[in-house]
Structure 1
Amino acid sequence: MMTDISPFASKLDLSNQGLTEVPEAILRCKNLRKLNLSHNQIKILPPELSQLKRLQNLDLGNNQISTLYAGNFDLPQLEVLILRNNKLKKMPHQIGALDKLKVLNLSGNQLVELPNDITRLADLEELSLANNAFSTFPVQLLKFSKMKLLWLNNNPLSDLPVTELHSKMPDLKSIYCFSPLSNHDLDPNYKLLQAKKGNCLAQFNLLALKDKPKKKMESTTPSRIISGKKHLFISYCHADIEWLNKINTALQTMAYEGLELEIWDDTRLNAGDLWKKEIESAIAKADVAILLVSNSFLASKFIREQEVPPLLKKAEESGARILPVIVGLCRFTKSTLKDYQAINKPERPMNALSIHEQEKIIYDLTNEIDKVFE
């Protein structure tokens, strides 16, 4: 009996119960961490599902769900979401709100595309798009740098960017492409991978190496040369100078790789300089602006009035890249910078991370700079 569900339950398995809707009793289980409603006849998820704020694992596989609503994605702790074998034709963009999601199974639906907001799932490690109707490769997948397991089998893919996918997913351990489909519009590489049952990572890696463009070897020049000096402006508050020093150290290593990078921050000012004009000139030249954001940064009247507005204007008018790094917990998402993607998550500032995690964020920052200049 569904009325026997304890409101204190942390795990519930209600699979194969012939359910046509989500029992109301479940919504009173405020401590629920894991919920299995698979192999039922559920068609609609109630918006009240968002009351389960501690839910980490939700299995809705093998139901009759054809539509999802914005309220269904207000689950801040969710790490595993199983929606396989339903009747979904479209995923709402609100799926991007599940920023702790690590496992997403969308296999066995009728999807032809993914929403752009899915790229906000920065920690996604396992994704199944098997048995859908993707004819064009969903480019959003190229944003999932932490991906380890990927299922693409049984889709009529007319393109598969093997080389790019290989470079964007360095931690990939398994990829599945097996399919009996054999129409003439399929991507040639996808056709080759289709023949392999199970994990075809070895074949995938060989194709990526074969298709990778060969670089010209030059014995007397650095490994990479980017023509013309590039200008980088760092905006920070003096209370955060330790982060400036760490980032400057990493940026200096890029110079040894052949990148002509002129880095400007206010430590470059000398006694007697017309400092305001110097800053204005540096901003005017900037191709990239790194913002070291903290409470001190957001509270600084000079930064707020003299640095941020011209930087944002330059980004809008000439395409200068704005790269915020959150160095201290602050109201970044409420500020004028909220529309710019930060290198690290606002809720995981640099001063709350281990040394290894800090170094990884700085490494990611240098990679973003590489993308701008290469």
Structure 2
Amino acid sequence: MSSNQPVKKPIEILFSYAREDEKLRDELEKGLSVLKRQNRIVCWHDRQISGGDPWEQAISSHLDTADIILLLVSRAFIASDYSNRVEVRYALERHEKGEVRVIPVILRQCDWHNEPFAKLQALPRDARPVTDWSNLDNALYDVVSGIKKVVVELEKGQ
């Protein structure tokens, strides 16, 4: 059975994070599995860069094409010169132009309130750090629910 409906491309989500937060990134990505299986999203992070590939070029390319950029915020993320000098700056430039949705996800308690992305609505609810929740699953569910709302908004605009 053929449909005249155009095939919607999946929403591309890029994770911008510090290496120290890789386990939390993995857990968050697992929480997005249903949307991935439904082919509504594709996720990308720098661990998907193949050996021998130019990593800066790969990151730049995905920063250019992402529909949603998740900033996984922690002390390590804020301390990363590369994250702040390149990824955050470019993500916010694209966000200001309406080309991408940037969502800060507060993983750990840190001094993020004076960062350039502090003006954006953060997840989880009330910007309560994921690691401060008594149950990690509840925190990640709250984050995934917030991301899903943005995915639905972007799908309506396609």
Q: TM-score range with shorter-chain normalisation? A: 0.7 to 0.9
Report whether the alignment pairs 1:285 with 2:47.
Answer: no
Give the corresponding residue for 1:247.
28
Matching residue within 125, 137, 141 for 1:363: 141
Give the corresponding residue for 1:372.
150
Asked if 2 retains the 8 angstrom alpha-carbon contact of 1:326 and 1:345, the reply is no
Asked if 2 retains the 8 angstrom alpha-carbon contact of 1:234 and 1:290, the reply is yes
SS in 2 for 1:231: strand
Matching residue within 12, 17, 22 for 1:236: 17
Structure 1 residues 302, 271: CA separation in 2 closer, same or farther (over 3 Å shift)?
A: same
Report whether the alignment pairs 1:354 with 2:111.
Answer: no
How many Å apart are 1:335 and its aligned residue?
1.0
Structure 1 residues 340, 367: CA separation in 2 closer, same or farther (over 3 Å shift)?
A: same
Gaps of 5+ in 2: 2-6, 153-158
* Structure 2 residue identity aligned to 1:367: S
Q: Kindly indicate which of the two structures has a greater share of residues assigned to helix.
A: 2
For residues 155-304 of structure 1, the aligned pairs below 5 Å read 227-256=8-37, 258-304=38-84
What is the CA deviation profile of residues 72-92 of structure 1, one whole-angstrom value per residue up to 9, with x for unaligned ones? xxxxxxxxxxxxxxxxxxxxx
Asked if 1 retains the 8 angstrom alpha-carbon contact of 2:28 and 2:140, the reply is yes
How many Å apart are 1:228 and its aligned residue?
1.4
Report whether the alignment pairs 1:315 with 2:95.
Answer: yes
Asked if 2 retains the 8 angstrom alpha-carbon contact of 1:292 and 1:327, the reply is yes
Give the corresponding residue for 1:333.
113
* Structure 1 residue identity aligned to 2:86: Q
Matching residue within 114, 122, 135 for 1:342: 122
Asked if 2 retains the 8 angstrom alpha-carbon contact of 1:329 and 1:346, the reply is no
What is the CA deviation profile of residues 208-257 of structure 1, one whole-angstrom value per residue up to 9, with x for unaligned ones? xxxxxxxxxxxx9xxxxx8212111000000111111101111122223x
How many Å apart are 1:317 and its aligned residue?
1.0
Matching residue within 70, 74, 86 for 1:306: 86
SS in 1 for 2:25: helix
SS in 2 for 1:338: helix
Structure 1 residues 366, 259: CA separation in 2 closer, same or farther (over 3 Å shift)?
A: farther
Question: Taking structure 1 as the reference length, what is the TM-score of the superposition?
Answer: 0.37
Asked if 2 retains the 8 angstrom alpha-carbon contact of 1:326 and 1:346, the reply is no
What's the RMSD between the two structures over aligned residues?
2.0
Question: Aligned equivalents of 1:229 and 1:347: distance in 2?
Answer: 27
Give the corresponding residue for 1:94.
none
SS in 1 for 2:102: strand
* Structure 1 residue identity aligned to 2:70: I
Asked if 1 retains the 8 angstrom alpha-carbon contact of 2:12 and 2:43, the reply is yes
Gaps of 5+ in 1: 1-219, 221-225
What is the CA deviation profile of residues 146-166 of structure 1, one whole-angstrom value per residue up to 9, with x for unaligned ones? xxxxxxxxxxxxxxxxxxxxx
Asked if 1 retains the 8 angstrom alpha-carbon contact of 2:72 and 2:104, the reply is yes
Question: Taking structure 2 as the reference length, what is the TM-score of the superposition?
Answer: 0.84
Structure 1 residues 370, 344: CA separation in 2 closer, same or farther (over 3 Å shift)?
A: closer
Asked if 2 retains the 8 angstrom alpha-carbon contact of 1:343 and 1:361, the reply is no
* Structure 2 residue identity aligned to 1:232: I
Structure 1 residues 298, 345: CA separation in 2 closer, same or farther (over 3 Å shift)?
A: farther
Look at both structures and tell me which one has the larger radius of gyration over its CA atoms.
1
Asked if 1 retains the 8 angstrom alpha-carbon contact of 2:15 and 2:70, the reply is yes
**Moved beyond 6 Å, runs of 4+:** none
What is the CA deviation profile of residues 60-113 of structure 1, one whole-angstrom value per residue up to 9, with x for unaligned ones? xxxxxxxxxxxxxxxxxxxxxxxxxxxxxxxxxxxxxxxxxxxxxxxxxxxxxx
Structure 1 residues 250, 283: CA separation in 2 closer, same or farther (over 3 Å shift)?
A: same
SS in 2 for 1:308: helix
Asked if 1 retains the 8 angstrom alpha-carbon contact of 2:133 and 2:139, the reply is no
SS in 1 for 2:70: strand
How many Å apart are 1:267 and its aligned residue?
0.8
How many Å apart are 1:346 and its aligned residue?
7.0
